[in-house]
Amino acid sequence: MTIKVGDKIPQATLLKAGADGPQQIDTDAFFAGRKVALFSVPGAFTPTCSAKHLPGFVEKADELKAKGADEIACVAVNDAFVMQAWGQSAGAEGKVTMLADGNGDFARALGLTMDASKFGMGERGQRWSAIVDDGVVRELNVEEPGAFKVSAAEYMIGQL
């Protein structure tokens, strides 16, 4: 079942690269008591994700925070080291928290997976964005396959 507005974000463990290796991030704790601008991409270093999606959130980070987002986070079915390298290459440090859903458990729990096997990528998370307020989905923007519009930073600014 796909998550919807008004639902609580499911409990899962994501990973974030740190100085001492991957750090476990519990979603219940991560989203508790704050507003998070969350977005998901099918894969780090992929064309639309690298040219538009992540750069848009990096560029608009100050504006999103001024509109009430306590944190901006990107999640993808990649490992923590790839997410860290991608974030560094995009200038995301200090602006966007890069979260790894290495096995796709979070994407499956949300009901927002896609089959990217024809691209040699296996099961991935769909392209989407959400405003999560104290662990509850307040806005959810899921893209149609191949599209990039409603999950963009600019679209989210209008929702905050």
State residue 68's pLDDT score. 97
State residue 151's pLDDT score. 95
State residue 116's pLDDT score. 65
Please tell me the distance from the alpha carbon of residue 124 to that of residue 114, in angstroms, as a whole number: 5
* CATH code given to domain 13-157: 3.40.30.10
Low-confidence residues in the chain, pLDDT < 50: none
What one-character-per-residue DSSP string does 115-149 give? E-GGGT--EEEPSEEEEEETTEEEEEEEPPTT--S
State residue 120's pLDDT score. 65
State residue 122's pLDDT score. 60
State residue 51's pLDDT score. 77
Query: Is the entire prediction scored with pTM above 0.75?
Result: yes
Cβ(30)–Cβ(122) below 8 Å: no
State residue 123's pLDDT score. 73
Among 9, 49, 58, 92, the one annotated catalytic: 49
Residue spans per domain, the chain: 13-157
Q: Any catalytic annotation for residue 49?
A: yes
